[in-house]
Chains A and B, each alone.
Chain A
């Protein structure tokens, strides 16, 4: 009996522990424990100095329903939605182009999407500020050519925030779209043409439906970070178009109200879970989220 169970431990449990163990520890330490910590903190109270104390309260969640916060959630969701739509509209033709190009140039196009990522995104966002400001390059150029008299105010608007989000998150849309279009069976397109369908009809009835997995996963990859990228709305939006990320950052770094910050983070996590669930329900493949 004793021998048997030891044998079983060696042949079944040990290899499993050896392979899953390290990953398990990493997941436990870097995902589960911090999440539980955030969850616990979201029910904590503040003492008279503003420090959090382990005293149970629902107040943080009640505070989430503050009308000003709700307006920021709505604004944040609208910014994310606009960003996602723009990314699809611009990204789809581009991804299509990459997927259908000869292999040599394909790598080049692919690298064009990736290379900007090697520069810190904050620096690239500041670049936009220099480019679009009232005395920036674009306005100077337009004025130099006499196209406009007064500078166009691009900066510090919701539009500027959306532009920055699109710019930061564009590759996350391109890459899943690309792999979906790449996998598309060319025979189907030929069959469609043979049966008399024109380009547009093939696109709407064959290409897009068959690559909708890519569109979905791209949308998730764009939409979710959009809710949190507070530095984009800070720098390009001038603090005038806050997203949920700004609210969270503010509680931790300025207002010193960690429990409220934790509660807002939990809401953000819930939104993410709901979206991913919806994606799964719609037949999305979890693998193409890159997770």
Chain B
């Protein structure tokens, strides 16, 4: 009996371990998205979860005969860690956010893109070209973006909420679902005080740390994966979440409205890039060019309604996208917002300390 008990326990423990590990990504070579014969070769793509529709990847495979082995990450840091630990030719396509592009470029980890093979780059709107994090788009082309907006359940919240600062109101005790993301939450606090989200000033950081503690009692839960769930069910009457999550919540629950903070919102833009070590840059460029097609983006936006930098696609989209300001975010919101930047190691440590102090 004892043997059996021990064996069952060992099995149970192993199983629960698997439960955790399977969430942490897997070998790109084994995780294909389809069984298409690899006539045109294959590429390994390492991309965000819930961001590129499987149907779009399948359509690319059928059109070109190139097989895409997709694996997924859920944070830029996960991507970075994987790029550091895998061999340099492990991936042919990646999809880092703004600040991560900058970090990868600074360490010479990205290949310069051959724009003669990216004719669809002309579809990208001028205001999304030549970004601060990659001047001249040498290494990256934009895919989708968004802001960290405020979601308000108008049936439950009677006070007017216009800014990040309004979220600190003690009247909203235990009612916010916030991103489980240190840079976003600290950035929100910084903007509410009129500081930059990338401040390294010691006095400003002290003020942020103190102010942030007054937000603690208002936050009911932290959820980066699916903050819309708590909004749709009504469990949380306010949300600090990615705009597309709020847009999806609005589709499900008519009481929910999106508010763009008057201080200027946290912005993000995710971009296609090719790791320097990739041996299949031509195939990767074909993939990126396909993703830049207007028709492709229409399919993408039907599933993931983020901000679309593809102007040609905008002309093809219907009212349900263009008329919805949570999906088709007004240009002035983007003009007023701020991207996060890489911090030096000492400042990064301070941000971590502020965050741990909030979460303790």
A→B interface (CB under 8 Å)? 46-51, 66, 68-69, 71-72, 75, 114, 117-118, 120-122, 133-135, 153, 155-156, 168, 171-172, 175-176, 178-179, 182, 221, 225, 231, 234, 238-240, 242, 246-247, 252-258, 287-288, 290
A238-B221 in contact (CB<8A) = yes
Which interface class (under 10, 10 to 19, 20 to 34, 35 or more) fits B? 35 or more
B356-A117 in contact (CB<8A) = no
B220-A238 in contact (CB<8A) = yes
List chain A residues, Cβ under 8 A from B348.
50, 255
B16-A68 in contact (CB<8A) = no
Residue B12 interfacial (CB < 8 Å):
yes
In the complex, which residue of chain A has the Cβ closest to the Cβ of B345?
Answer: A46
| Cα distance A133–B106 in the bound complex, in angstroms | 46
B2-A179 in contact (CB<8A) = yes
List chain B residues, Cβ under 8 A from A225.
13
Q: Which of A71, A118, A134, A287 meets B233, CB within 8 Å?
A: A134
B1-A182 in contact (CB<8A) = yes
**B127, chain A: closest CB distance, angstroms:** 30
In the complex, which residue of chain B has the Cβ closest to the Cβ of A238?
Answer: B221
* Cross-chain pair count, CB within 8 angstroms: 110
What is the interface of chain B mostly: helix, strand, loop, or mixed? Answer: helix
List chain B residues, Cβ under 8 A from A246.
359
**A138, chain B: closest CB distance, angstroms:** 14
| Cα distance A46–B345 in the bound complex, in angstroms | 8
Residue B30 interfacial (CB < 8 Å):
no
| A172-B9, A175-B9, A290-B10 known; A254+B221 contact, CB < 8 A | no
A242-B12 in contact (CB<8A) = no
**B231, chain A: closest CB distance, angstroms:** 12
| Cα distance A116–B329 in the bound complex, in angstroms | 45
Stretch at the interface among B54-62, B78-86, B192-200, B263-271: B78-86
| Cα distance A50–B103 in the bound complex, in angstroms | 10
List chain B residues, Cβ under 8 A from A182.
1
Convert B181-200 into 0s and 1s, putting 1 for each residue whose CB lies closer than 8 angstroms to a CB of A: 11000000000000000000
**B164, chain A: closest CB distance, angstroms:** 19
**A182, chain B: closest CB distance, angstroms:** 6
A253-B77 in contact (CB<8A) = yes
**B187, chain A: closest CB distance, angstroms:** 15
A256-B223 in contact (CB<8A) = no
B12-A255 in contact (CB<8A) = no
Sorted nearest first, the 6 A-B pairs with minimum C-beta distance are A238-B221, A239-B222, A290-B6, A71-B360, A68-B356, A156-B221
| Cα distance A242–B357 in the bound complex, in angstroms | 11
A256-B356 in contact (CB<8A) = no
List chain B residues, Cβ under 8 A from A49.
103, 106-107
Residue B295 interfacial (CB < 8 Å):
no
